[in-house]
Chain A
Amino acid sequence: MCCSRNYRDTDLQYVEALEILLQGLCGVNKERLRVHEICLKSGPNLGFVASEVRLLCDLEQSEPTWTVKHVGGALRGAGVEQISVLVRSMVESKASKNVLRLFYALGYKLDHELLRVGITFHFQRGAQITVTVSSVNKMLKLHATDEAVPVTPGIQLVEVTAPATSENYNEVVAAVSSFCEYLAPLLHLSKPGVSTGVVPTAAAAAASLMSDGGGTTL
């Protein structure tokens, strides 16, 4: 399972301020992020229901590493609407470099591909939380990651995610929500698919963070 909230920032100066804020909150160094995400869908005859799988190639490593990712449906049931965080099943598996060839041979087709470039923080705060701030880029030619261009120039995606089990997801939801509150002066995160605007305090908060590198308490 995975709990997540997203945000779209419209001003790159906020990204720099956000980085300073995250550095202070997380207590860990940022890591660079450069991931080629290949989304495959089953061909027309394969499977009684269509299926989708994502192959992630981490280009930031000296030797690219591959991960197979399946994202399942969102948690359903009474009270789910009241949960401020999206909870859905997710399974990941590291794989060797032949993984794309394998899935093509099995009858999967390329649906779309993206290149995510940005930074990421991994830290423990009530749950193992990952924060990524990234631009989403599309490739003009097949698999040409060196020629990627932003899907929406000037807009970054902020994602806060944490793994959970069916037994502890309530605690993880609380941890993610609590962490997101610390970002509130600068940005407001919501469930994926729910649009948000720029918070009124963003400009002042960003200016404060930029002026003294985050020493001022927001």
Chain B
Amino acid sequence: MSVVYCHIFRRLISYNPYRKKSTTMPLKRVFFWQPNAGSTVNSQILNEVSQCVESINGVKEGRWKATLTFYKPMLRDQALSAEFPREFIGISLPEQPNKYYFVLRFNKIVLESDSSIQLIMEKLQSYKSRVALNFEGFQYQLGDFQLRVGKVVPSHSENLRGIVMEVEYLPISSLEKSKQIMEEFFDIWQDAISKRSLPGRFIHIEPDFSDYGLADHYTSQHTAVQYTHVTSQLIASVQAVQTGRN
């Protein structure tokens, strides 16, 4: 890593050996990999991204995994399917092992509940799991930042559908107050990853959290909403590639 990067990072990242996480929820941004036109995501890109994190002194800490499930309504008359939510999503997050999140993207509803809500949904038999996606990989510590890089794969397959990256800034929970530092960090990251000349880039499109009734203070419900939106963007991206091929 060059002397210039070291200097810039030290402005952003406090190398405090006694650093501890904020007692409130630290905020994060979730990025997804957008391949260039004509290219697709593959495991080589995932390896390059992971190596890039390590090249800027990210310390590998361990594995992580989140799961996103699409639920479909069980209808007696399929012709009436328009009366029911188009996207009903359930999410489990590694930082909240006893919780489960539901998101209705088009209704702008997010719910946090105990993980036993999944058993209730099974007993109700009104909605069933249609397909599940796993987001899994390694997490890295980088001063006051925590990075997670992961592949997106269907739960019963190893077919790589996408790559995501979480950037978590530990000291602050305010979305507004953290904007500048997150953008500065990402600029540095973009600079580092661009040197690998990969056929694509990471994109973050921030959902309007206020539409979901979420405040400036970051919570796991914000994360659930981000994963819902990232997934829809990933799907759109895959469909665009397939349309281009056809």
Contacts and interface: CB of A to CB of B under 8 A. Distances in A.
Interface of A: 42, 45-49, 51, 53, 68, 70, 72, 89, 91-96, 98-99, 101-102, 105-108
A45 B88 CA distance: 17
Given A95-B113, A102-B111, A107-B83, 4 more contacts: A45-B77, A46-B74, A68-B113, A106-B126
Given A93-B116, A107-B73, A45 B123 contact: no
Contacts of A99: 111, 113
Nearest to B213: A98
A48 B74 contact: yes
B76 interface: yes
Nearest to A51: B124
Contacts of B116: 91-93
Contacts of A93: 113-117, 119-120
Given A51-B125, A51-B126, A72-B123, A45 B117 contact: no
Nearest to B76: A45
B59 interface: no
B104 interface: yes
B209 to A, nearest CB: 14
A57 to B, nearest CB: 14
A46 B73 contact: yes
The 10 closest A-B pairs by CB, nearest first: A47-B126, A95-B113, A93-B117, A93-B114, A51-B124, A93-B116, A96-B112, A70-B120, A105-B107, A94-B114
Given A48-B125, A68-B120, A95-B117, A106 B112 contact: no
A95 B111 contact: yes
